[in-house]
Chain A
């Protein structure tokens, strides 16, 4: 059976920059987007930093180095609709999203979810704009935000993930082409889930999206992102940066279902997913919660983190990472406790099948002023095959004696015996696998909004059916 039904390419005319990375390309991207001077300065500063940096090599990953000069840094569909009118959407692109199960027609739209669609480098449409505007919530592409809310972008961009944070973050800061922007004003609870759907379509094009979410005092927002790409034999690079800012008593819930093309059985093709995601709890009682279901990409390098500055602020990380075939994932989180009485929870579930490699890497850091900081970490691994490997690298650095840090870990197997037991109780093999996997991932799945949880469960099943006996 086809375990990656999203691998089709859409025949749509695109304007693609020639491959290669240099200052001129960065200037052209900025010009193309008609950016104010501060943005070009931001990009160029990042590019300078980037030139002095080298790719990180500490992760438990092995892969061919990426030739950044062979990648194109900008691709946009030629027939780009005006942002106000979904009806003008290129029919081919519309079909793409329909095949991906994302209905765009008014009457079929996902109930109570506003969607921003990013196709290759550009945001092409946002649904439910009016309803959000009435509530005062801004959901738009970051390009649009640069035009409409330059003061907010200038104030916050690069404050959570500094331009020189790491190699891929510096690259992203220099060349990012689009992404999503969310602003929730003081006291506002977003009336609906916000969502972005990322799609890489062009071959040999990097996707460098940038997401910035700002939640003012006493506000709440739940944001979801989904991603797929066509199946190409060549590697595609995806290097995103996501920054979250939560003010006093604000809550941001950020959920991801990542299903980039993972490559074939031999490890040919697939997306290199190097992503920097970080949230800052700036105010007291702020809360940031990351939930991720990672089932795609040939390489995943991703550590959604929380910097807990405000007193009583809360950071959470719920993760399911599934690797099969020749996939490699090195993923986890950092919880940086700076404020007093800060609290963090880490629940990580790794499922490894075939000859894949699955690593959890986590850092819990408690600073000298973070009295009464609390962390609970639970790392569970499930092995589906004997050739796969699972690793955990939890690091704890505490400089405060009042901190309480708990760590639990387990390893289990999804093997013939477990499935035989369930089958002998009347469940067919598919149902048996689903009972075991859903049980294993339960604490993470219940953090996802309902529709996403259903989709995520289905994805896990599709991925695993081929790998279990």
Chain B
């Protein structure tokens, strides 16, 4: 599915990834943990194609294609979904309208006809129920006056709609109280599927109480320093990142 080989990346002349390698197979859930500044969010930005990052070396292949050659929108339509830590507000852009347009772009990519508003609403309702998205938010401008938890839910709703083959969830647990964390965690768990790989980027172990990863990686200074099974997260939680330096 995803093969990252010896990736070196800088942003604003600062090196953020130092020869990172990672393989994510179909249907696998990987957690990437690490302290602030380890390069976790940089990795998610690079995979989604953020224009500020400069690739210095290495390669990334996704479904056996060179990912680094693609524009961000092509990557999205090929099946990569990145959730944002801080989803942006867009004034005047109606949430439902935005979701419908975006959903239909994904359908077009799959060779399907666009759905009418009515047909889309049926799909949308089902997905909103699945991720427990509050119905009153859907008619607002995108993310306008959404709470932190509501923004994260909006991201997970999009993941539910677009049905990506690879979801990269960047600190989806940050800034959430325990109830919101549980709701978001359970929503992600519900979206686990045999056609989907997930990379969970997180600072804390607590999200992993709701979603059991197949593999846990520890990231330090722009590369993966250790990988293991889900017990690794528990060790990290108990001993801190220091012990891995």
In angstroms, how far is the closest chain A Cβ from the Cβ of B171?
15
Determine whether the beta carbon of B105 is less than 8 Å from that of A417: no
A325 to B109, CA, bound (A): 37
Q: Which residues of A contact B82 (CB under 8 A)?
A: 424
Interface residues of A in 412-443 (CB under 8 A from B): 412, 416-418, 420-429, 432, 435-436, 438-443
Determine whether the beta carbon of B92 is less than 8 Å from that of A424: no
Determine whether the beta carbon of A438 is less than 8 Å from that of B92: yes
Determine whether the beta carbon of A439 is less than 8 Å from that of B51: no
A427 to B77, CA, bound (A): 9
Determine if A469 is an interface residue (Cβ-Cβ < 8 Å): yes
Q: Which residues of B contact A438 (CB under 8 A)?
A: 92
A429 to B158, CA, bound (A): 19
Q: Which residues of A contact B51 (CB under 8 A)?
A: 416, 420, 469
Q: Which residues of A contact B101 (CB under 8 A)?
A: 427, 435
In angstroms, how far is the closest chain A Cβ from the Cβ of B43?
14
Q: Which residues of A contact B106 (CB under 8 A)?
A: 426
Q: Which residue of B lies closest to A442 (CB)?
A: B92
Q: Which residues of B contact A424 (CB under 8 A)?
A: 48-49, 72-73, 75-76, 81-82, 84
In angstroms, how far is the closest chain A Cβ from the Cβ of B52?
7
Determine whether the beta carbon of A426 is less than 8 Å from that of B141: no
User: Which of A421, A423, A426, A427 touches B88 (beta carbons < 8 Å)?
Assistant: A421
Determine whether the beta carbon of A427 is less than 8 Å from that of B102: yes
Q: Digit string of B82-106 for contact with A (CB within 8 Å is 1, else 0)?
A: 1010011011110000100110011
Determine if B231 is an interface residue (Cβ-Cβ < 8 Å): no
Determine if B71 is an interface residue (Cβ-Cβ < 8 Å): yes
User: Which of A423, A435, A441, A443 touches B90 (beta carbons < 8 Å)?
Assistant: A435
User: Which of A425, A439, A441, A469 touches B158 (beta carbons < 8 Å)?
Assistant: A425
A424 to B81, CA, bound (A): 7
A420 to B98, CA, bound (A): 15
How many contacts between A and B, using CB within 8 angstroms?
A: 74
Determine whether the beta carbon of A418 is less than 8 Å from that of B76: no
Q: Which residues of B contact A426 (CB under 8 A)?
A: 73, 76-77, 102, 105-106, 109, 162
A469 to B87, CA, bound (A): 21
Determine whether the beta carbon of A435 is less than 8 Å from that of B105: no
Determine whether the beta carbon of B90 is less than 8 Å from that of A436: yes
Determine whether the beta carbon of B88 is less than 8 Å from that of A418: yes
In angstroms, how far is the closest chain B Cβ from the Cβ of A349?
10
Determine whether the beta carbon of A423 is less than 8 Å from that of B71: yes
Q: Which residues of B contact A418 (CB under 8 A)?
A: 88, 90
Determine if B50 is an interface residue (Cβ-Cβ < 8 Å): yes
Q: Which residue of B lies closest to A437 (CB)?
A: B92
Q: Which residues of B contact A428 (CB under 8 A)?
A: 71, 73
Q: Which residues of B contact A420 (CB under 8 A)?
A: 48-51, 72
A412 to B91, CA, bound (A): 9
A429 to B72, CA, bound (A): 9
In angstroms, how far is the closest chain A Cβ from the Cβ of B54?
14
Determine whether the beta carbon of A421 is less than 8 Å from that of B52: no
A81 to B73, CA, bound (A): 53
Q: Which residue of A lies closest to B92 (CB)?
A: A439
Say yes or no: A417-B92 contact (C-beta < 8 A), given A423-B49, A427-B102, A428-B71.
no
In angstroms, how far is the closest chain B Cβ from the Cβ of A200?
33
In angstroms, how far is the closest chain A Cβ from the Cβ of B42?
14
Q: Which residue of A lies closest to B94 (CB)?
A: A439
Say yes or no: A439-B71 contact (C-beta < 8 A), given A425-B76, A427-B101, A427-B102.
no
Q: Which residues of A contact B92 (CB under 8 A)?
A: 438-443
Q: By CB atoms of chain A within 10 A, which of B49, B77, B82, B91 has the most?
A: B91
Interface residues of B in 98-157 (CB under 8 A from A): 98, 101-102, 105-106, 109, 141
In angstroms, how far is the closest chain B Cβ from the Cβ of A227?
26
In angstroms, how far is the closest chain B Cβ from the Cβ of A453?
14
Q: By CB atoms of chain A within 10 A, which of B48, B50, B81, B92 has the most?
A: B92
A328 to B76, CA, bound (A): 39
Q: Which residues of A contact B88 (CB under 8 A)?
A: 417-418, 421
Q: Which residues of B contact A435 (CB under 8 A)?
A: 90, 93, 98, 101
Say yes or no: A439-B90 contact (C-beta < 8 A), given A423-B72, A425-B76, A428-B73.
yes
Q: Which residue of B lies closest to A414 (CB)?
A: B90
Q: By CB atoms of chain B within 10 A, which of A410, A424, A440 has the most?
A: A424
In angstroms, how far is the closest chain A Cβ from the Cβ of B113?
16
In angstroms, how far is the closest chain B Cβ from the Cβ of A415?
10
Q: Which residue of B lies closest to A432 (CB)?
A: B73
Interface residues of A in 142-183 (CB under 8 A from B): none
In angstroms, how far is the closest chain B Cβ from the Cβ of A406?
18
Q: By CB atoms of chain B within 10 A, which of A380, A436, A469 has the most?
A: A436
Q: Which residue of A lies closest to B48 (CB)?
A: A424
User: Which of A427, A429, A432, A440 touches B91 (beta carbons < 8 Å)?
Assistant: A440
Q: Which residues of B contact A421 (CB under 8 A)?
A: 84, 87-88
Say yes or no: A423-B73 contact (C-beta < 8 A), given A416-B51, A435-B98, A439-B141.
yes
Q: Which residues of B contact A380 (CB under 8 A)?
A: 91
Q: Which residues of B contact A425 (CB under 8 A)?
A: 73, 76, 98, 102, 105, 158, 162
Q: By CB atoms of chain B within 10 A, which of A380, A426, A428, A438 has the most?
A: A426
Q: Which residues of B contact A429 (CB under 8 A)?
A: 71, 73
Q: Which residues of A contact B77 (CB under 8 A)?
A: 426
Q: Which residues of B contact A441 (CB under 8 A)?
A: 92
In angstroms, how far is the closest chain A Cβ from the Cβ of B29?
21
User: Which of B48, B73, B75, B91 touches A439 (beta carbons < 8 Å)?
Assistant: B91
A421 to B50, CA, bound (A): 9
Q: Digit string of A352-382 for contact with B (CB within 8 Å is 1, else 0)?
A: 0000000000000000000000000000100
A120 to B186, CA, bound (A): 68
Q: Which residues of A contact B90 (CB under 8 A)?
A: 418, 422, 435-436, 439
Q: Could you give 17 example pairs across A and B, Cβ below 8 Å? A: A416-B52, A417-B88, A421-B84, A423-B49, A423-B72, A423-B76, A424-B48, A424-B49, A424-B75, A425-B73, A425-B98, A425-B105, A425-B158, A426-B77, A427-B101, A428-B71, A435-B93
Q: Which 3 A-B pairs have the closest CB atoms?
A: A439-B92, A423-B72, A439-B93
Instruction: Taking A424-B72, A440-B92 as given, write out 11 further A-B residue pairs in contact, using a Cβ cutoff of 8 Å, ordered by the A residue number.
Output: A380-B91, A418-B88, A420-B49, A420-B51, A423-B49, A423-B71, A424-B75, A425-B102, A425-B162, A436-B93, A439-B91
